[in-house]
Amino acid sequence: MLSFIVRRLWQMLPTMLGVVVLVFVLFNWVGGDPAYLLAGKMADTAAIENIRRQLGTDQPYTVQLWIFIEQILTFDFGNAWSTGEPVSHIIASRLGPSLTVLVPLTILETVLGIALALGIAFVRGSLTDRAVMVACTVGMSISILVYIIVFQYVFAYEMGLFPVQGWGNSLGENLLRYALLPIIIGLAVSIAPTLRLYRSFVLDEVNQDYVRTARAKGLSERRVVWVHVLRNAAIPIITHVMANLPALLIGAFLLERFFGIPGIGREVILAVERSDFPVIKAITVYVAAATMVFNLLADLLYQAVDPRVRLT
């Protein structure tokens, strides 16, 4: 167990290096010379040379890579090219609004998904099951853009139940006023695919021998479902939730963009539109680190829920 954790932590170094090299190749090699971008349209050679010297892009690629690694290690990515705001400050200040939407959304989605999947899987084949599945397939076949456009138009613009967009200063105001409609839309979009997936996980388990044994022992149906089946179906569910957590930070960018929420996702879109490379690089590296930690946690949780899984 301990050796597994140590080995995985040790493995993070080459993974991180892989990510760093990938990002480096994308931005410094594929992306071309940023000096022309920064110098603007009326640049002379001296100005371009000057910018190259400041950025270090006149150095060989190995030296540039080392500069990038140094930036990562010191958490100092300099200032954003477009606004001049320190990159570390951008990330710190945009994280809060993103989490205000994403934490309630993830909790609601997972709890609802598991509860509905267990309920539906045990009446499988019935009319209810088929109706819910058809509703799910129809619901998830509509683009998130349509949900956002229509919900924002109907509930915020026409009916005025929610603000069309905006963001306040206090957590309570944001959560109860501005984040409410984005959370509802996020839930409407995500609950259908989640339910479908979890149902297929549960269906994998309900006909296993241990379920019959549990019933033969005289256990209540509730205990069979919520203890025996849930624990076995939990492995793929954990995979799904854990794998999606860090990506969600970026994934909600459409909600953030439409509703004017100053979060990480909206910042990424803005940075991509402005070719603001330091911001994208920094966010990519931080999200990468978070993802690796979450993957390790997922594997540790496997063993906690299923002792048959041996981590060696």
Partner 1 sequence: MMTLHAASPGLWALAWRRLRADRIAMGALAVVAAFLAMLLLSSIGLIASDWEDEVAVNYAPPSFIGADAGTRALAAAQLPRETPPNAFDPLAAELAELKAQVRATHPPVEKATTLPFGADKWGHDIVKKTIKGGETSIVVGLVAALVAVALGTLFGALSGFYGGVIDDLFNWFYSIFTAIPSILMILTVAAVLQQKGVMTIVLILGLTGWTGPYRLMRAEYIKHKAREYVMAADAIGASSMRRMFGHILPNVAHVALVQMSILVVGFIKAEVILSFLGFGVPVGVVSWGSMLNEAQNELILGKWWQLAAASGAMALLVTAFSLFADALRDALDPKLK
**Which spans of this chain sit near partner 1 (rule: CB under 8 A)?**
11-12, 14-15, 18-19, 22-23, 26-27, 30-31, 124-125, 130, 133-134, 137-138, 140-146, 149-150, 153, 157, 193, 196-197, 200, 203-204, 207, 235-236, 239-240, 243, 246-247, 249-251, 253-254, 268-269, 272-273, 275, 280, 283-284, 287-289, 291-292, 295, 308-309
Nearer to partner 1, 39 or 271 (CB): 271
Kindly write down the DSSP assignment for every residue of 231-276, as one continuous string.
Answer: HHHHHHHHHHHHHHHHHHHHHTHHHHHHHT---HHHHHHHHHHHT-
SS3 annotation, 92-110: HHHHHHHHHHHHHHHHHHH
Write down the least CB distance from residue 176 to partner 1, Å.
Answer: 27
Other Cβ atoms within 10 Å of 98 Cβ, number: 23
Nearer to partner 1, 100 or 291 (CB): 291
Write down the least CB distance from residue 13 to partner 1, Å.
Answer: 11
Other Cβ atoms within 10 Å of 238 Cβ, number: 18
∠ CA 117-180-108, rounded to 5°? 20
Write down the least CB distance from residue 268 to partner 1, Å.
Answer: 6
Residue 306 carries which side chain, given as an amino acid letter?
A: D
Write down the least CB distance from residue 162 to partner 1, Å.
Answer: 17
With a CB cutoff of 8 Å and minimum separation 6, the contacts of 1 are 303, 311
Other Cβ atoms within 10 Å of 49 Cβ, number: 13
Nearer to partner 1, 136 or 183 (CB): 136
Write down the least CB distance from residue 256 to partner 1, Å.
Answer: 13
Nearer to partner 1, 11 or 220 (CB): 11
CB 261 within 8 A of CB 101: yes
Write down the least CB distance from residue 145 to partner 1, Å.
Answer: 5
Contacts 24+ apart (CB under 8 A), 104-109: 104/175, 104/179, 104/183, 105/183, 105/186, 105/187, 105/190, 105/248, 105/252, 106/241, 106/245, 106/248, 108/183, 108/187, 109/186, 109/187, 109/190, 109/191, 109/194
Residue with tokens 């080459």: 14
Nearer to partner 1, 27 or 174 (CB): 27
Write down the least CB distance from residue 80 to partner 1, Å.
Answer: 15
Nearer to partner 1, 133 or 184 (CB): 133
Nearer to partner 1, 174 or 282 (CB): 282
Nearer to partner 1, 124 or 177 (CB): 124
Residue with tokens 């190995």: 62
Write down the least CB distance from residue 138 to partner 1, Å.
Answer: 5
